Each structure stands twice: as C-alpha cells, then as structure tokens.
Structure 1
C-alpha cells in the first residue's frame, strides 16, 4: 500500500462513477492542489495533515472559505470511496470535520447602469462589425467579442433565463422550441442532474430566432450544439467543428469585463434575475425555485435581499 498513489485512487473512483468530464477535471484539479502541498501518498494522510493544508489554503494562499470547503468535499468523497473499498487503511476519513463555516456574502449582481453599459458596448461592436459604425474598433487582431450578434444572443439568454454556463453549452438546436416558446435544459448540463424547461420571454425571442435561423443556414442539424461560435466564425470553425467548450465563453466575459471596467460573468446574470424577482418572495418564491432548477427551497431563499430602505419602512411601521 505504500506505493498507492492519488492517481490510482482517482482513477478507480472515476471508474466506479458516471461523472461528467468537467466533474472529473475538478477532482483532478483539487488532487493536484493537495499533492502540491504534501508528498505523502493517500495511505499516510491523517486529520492533522488536513488541518495543516487548511491553514495553508486559507492563510498562506488567502483563499475563500467556500474554495476550501469545495476542496474538502472532493477529497472527502475520494477518501470515503477508498476506505469503503479497502484501498486505504484509515479507520476514519481524515477529511471529516474539516469544513469551515463560510461567512454569508451578498450575491454579486449587475446594476441597470452596468447592464446598459455592456449592451451599449456590444452594440458599438455590432455596428463596427457590420460597417455601420466606427471601423477603427477593429485592429486586425482576434477579438473575443466577435461575432457581436452571437455574443449579444448569449448575453440575452443569461439575462432572461438565469441559466448556468454549463447549461448553455449543452443546449442543442432541438432543445429550442420557438413556436411554444421554451428551452429544454438537459441533465448533462445540470448541476443537480435534473432536466427542466425555461420559458422564452418576448425580449429574448428575436435574438434567439435569429440564432436558430442562422444555425439552419450554416447547416446545423437538430442534435448539434447551438451555442457554438464555430458555426458562425470561420476563423474558429476548425477549432470547434462540433462542440465548443467553456474557453470561448470565458474569453468573451474577460474581454467584456475589461472593456466595461467591471466584472461580468454568467453567474452575475443569474444572481441579478433571482435577486430582482425575490424582492417579492411571497409572489415569486416558487417561480424562482423552478426557474433556477433548485431542489431545495433553502437555496432560493438566499436571494432574498432586503434593502435598507425597505427595512427602514418596516421598522417605521412596526416600532413607531
């Protein structure tokens, strides 16, 4: 057992599970992080070693408690598997009791001013791209914001459906029903491995209709990934002939954030929609739960964010 490595442990764990490639990658990333901290193999790990790693992650690397807890969850699952299968000699999982209680942070949302600014910027790129605006915006270098119409559609989907990045990447042409105005989100892209359906609102319909039309013109078939920039950008067609991964999305939001001078991410769109709707929880609680695909109502309740003004009104009414 002395030569039993983390590589062997993760390999056998993956064989026993049906995990998405992105999930396997996240496990491998956490394991590499732990291997960078200690040269001990899995059979030599005890709770004290885990606590020392915790101190290093939270204090030396200054990571957030949620980051640490994510590492613990991955490592605990690996060790539970190893101990149960008799691959590891530990009587108890050394990662038990290692979770750190995180502080409650306000959800990061986008203001209306920020929303207007990012759409204004993308409209400028669209005008320049189509020859209607300032062509000096193009310097001949590859631009992660192009084609602008495609990325505007991506923004619209995040803005009006509150879906996750991985869900967007798993939408096929056949998952979009323009006639009945809904999008099916399949279980491969779901965090909780559950399918659900989101509506297409009137503000989203035109850009989504154009995407479907251009996809058909490009030769896209019903089972093809529709949010694949390779279908609409000849420069990237060879790189993403069938499936686009998350890297173009990340590059787009990095460039957009840099040009807007504030952070824009798919999750901030999601938080913005949920926080806005949960200003009226008595009316929207279950609607938001369904929209976000939450299993537990507790997750949805986190989006209730009483403003100082509303708290003042309540105090004035109740205490005066």
Structure 2
C-alpha cells in the first residue's frame, strides 16, 4: 500500500513542508508494518480502534515518549481524516481517541547576561567561521527564527535597505521580520568574507560551511552548544533555547504577546503562551521589589 495520494494532498493542498511530509509517511509505513505483522492486515483502511490501541500500547512498552507517540497518532489521524474527505471510509477510528498525557517541560532561556557574554566573545571575530557563527547567534536572538528556517535562508531573503528578513516557515508560510540596526553590520561583514571563500558550491544560501556548501542543522546545533557551554551551566543549549530567549526577553520588556506570536511565526496564541511563564516570573520579581506593601 502506498500513500502517494495522501502525500500529494499534504504537499499541494495543506502546504506541508517536505520534511513534515516525510515524517507523516514514515509514521504511516511503520503503522502499516505493525498491522501486517500483528493482524496480517493487507490495508490499514479497515483497521479498528482496538487494533490501533494495541499499537499504541506496544509503543508505550517499547519506551517511546508519550509526546512522540502522540505525534505518530496525529499522523494517523490526519490520514484517516483524508480518507473521510475522499469518501474512502465513513468513520474515523480515532474520532474519540484522547491523547496521552505529556508532562510540560519548562524550557529555561539563556539570561541576558549569558547572551551578552557570548556575543562579546565573538565581537572580535574577523575570519569566515567566526563571523558566520556570530551572525547565526545574532540572528537567532534578534529574530527568533527556527533552526530549519535559518538553514534555508537565502541571500535574497535579506533586504538590507529595508532592514527586513524574509523567512519561510511551517507549511511554506512566509513572514517578514524586521532587522535591528546592530545586526546589519554583522551581515555586511559576513557577506564580504563569504564571497571571498576559495570555493563556493552553493551561491544562493546565506549560511555556508567553510567548504562552500549549505550549512546543515547538526552543525548549527553544535555551534550554539559549543559557544554557550562556555558561559552557561544549563543542561539544554540549543537553537530552540535561543528562540525561547528571544521571546522571553521581549515579553520581559513589555512586548505585546500577539506581536511576539507574529515574529515567531506561530499560527495561534496558544503556542506563544508557552514562553510567558518566565515573563510572569520576572513580573513577580519586579512587583515584589517595587510594590509599597511588599516589604511589610
């Protein structure tokens, strides 16, 4: 059984990215393999909820996190909704399914002091890798973009005259992010050394390796982890924590939640509200230190 019609639907009608598309199809293929192995099922179209439940229990017992299981079930649910839409089935077997409980992970952002220390350490960078790494960190902190969005940036996405950055987000949705003045000089310096690389294989993408090819996600993660390990004792030091720091620091300074939502490229405020717990903590501290009756 293939999922080409479903893939085409996600790509052409839902505008899902190719990475998301691949994840959905992989989930479906794994599910189909399990159903064939356990129930000798030729197709997953006629599977009932009890069989799906058996698959979920198997995933739990194999040690997969509830969050990952929920994502796999979500892929399956999207497929069954597609089958309903195309009149291939009449009832979605997952219609009454309730997601597994997931513990909320508190993401601790980098402090403003930690951000300042890392950027100061990179302030004197003049070579290609040093300037590239500085720009990567500055862009994450100044725009809040996702790691995959940074990797996919092209030179043409940067508009220095209008001080904006065009970002292609989830479901191929474009958004314009303003660039603060302090980052414009770093962009110009980086572009100069980038253009002077001995070998440039990829002429279009903004961030390259020293071999002249497009930068990749694991390298971006390693860059962030390496620099912040020098100033931070936090367990998690990733590009996502930089995105988290961007949102938290804006909210701490009184930024409007809806404005932060637009900058982050979230489709709903609910996703952005995850970042508010630290700003609330900051408000409590300010309130405690300044309210006339707090000292009594």
Class of the TM-score when normalised by the shorter of the 2 chains: 0.7 to 0.9
Rate the CA distance shift 1:47–1:200 in 2: closer, same or farther, 3 A.
Answer: same
Aligned to 1:134: none
Aligned to 2:245: 272
- Offset at residue 264 of structure 1 (A): 1.9
Rate the CA distance shift 1:287–1:75 in 2: closer, same or farther, 3 A.
Answer: same
Rate the CA distance shift 1:249–1:49 in 2: closer, same or farther, 3 A.
Answer: farther
Q: 2:207 aligns with which of 227, 230, 234?
A: 227
CA-based RMSD of the aligned residues comes to: 3.7
Structure 2: gaps spanning 5 or more residues: none
Aligned to 1:200: 179
Q: Which moved more, 1:14-23 or 1:270-279?
A: 14-23
SS in 2 for 1:196: strand
Cα deviation digits, residues 47-66 of structure 1 (max 9, x gap):
12322333343454151x33
Aligned to 1:107: 107
SS in 2 for 1:100: coil
Matches of 2:223 and 2:188, distance apart in 1: 22
Q: 2:268 aligns with which of 296, 303, 314?
A: 296
Q: 2:7 aligns with which of 7, 11, 14?
A: 14
Rate the CA distance shift 1:221–1:119 in 2: closer, same or farther, 3 A.
Answer: same
**Structure 1 residue 27 and structure 2 residue 30: aligned?**
no
Matches of 1:280 and 1:149, distance apart in 2: 28
Q: Which has the higher contact order (CA 8 A, sep 6+)?
A: 2
Aligned to 2:138: 156
Matches of 2:112 and 2:57, distance apart in 1: 40
Q: How many residues align?
A: 279
- Offset at residue 270 of structure 1 (A): 0.9
Q: 2:236 aligns with which of 263, 267, 270?
A: 263
**Structure 1 residue 180 and structure 2 residue 159: aligned?**
no
1:1-320 alignment, distance < 5 Å: 5=1, 8=2, 10-18=3-11, 19-35=16-32, 37-38=34-35, 39=37, 40=41, 41-58=43-60, 60-63=62-65, 65-87=66-88, 91-94=91-94, 96-112=96-112, 114-115=114-115, 118-119=118-119, 147-185=129-167, 189-218=168-197, 224-229=204-209, 233-234=210-211, 237=212, 240=213, 243-253=214-224, 262-281=235-254, 283-305=255-277, 306-307=280-281, 309=285
Cα deviation digits, residues 78-131 of structure 1 (max 9, x gap):
1222344355x563233652423434432331234543565577679x69xx6x
Matches of 1:254 and 1:271, distance apart in 2: 15
Rate the CA distance shift 1:105–1:313 in 2: closer, same or farther, 3 A.
Answer: farther
Cα deviation digits, residues 125-147 of structure 1 (max 9, x gap):
x69xx6xxxxxxxxxxxxxxx82
Structure 1: gaps spanning 5 or more residues: 131-145
Rate the CA distance shift 1:31–1:95 in 2: closer, same or farther, 3 A.
Answer: farther
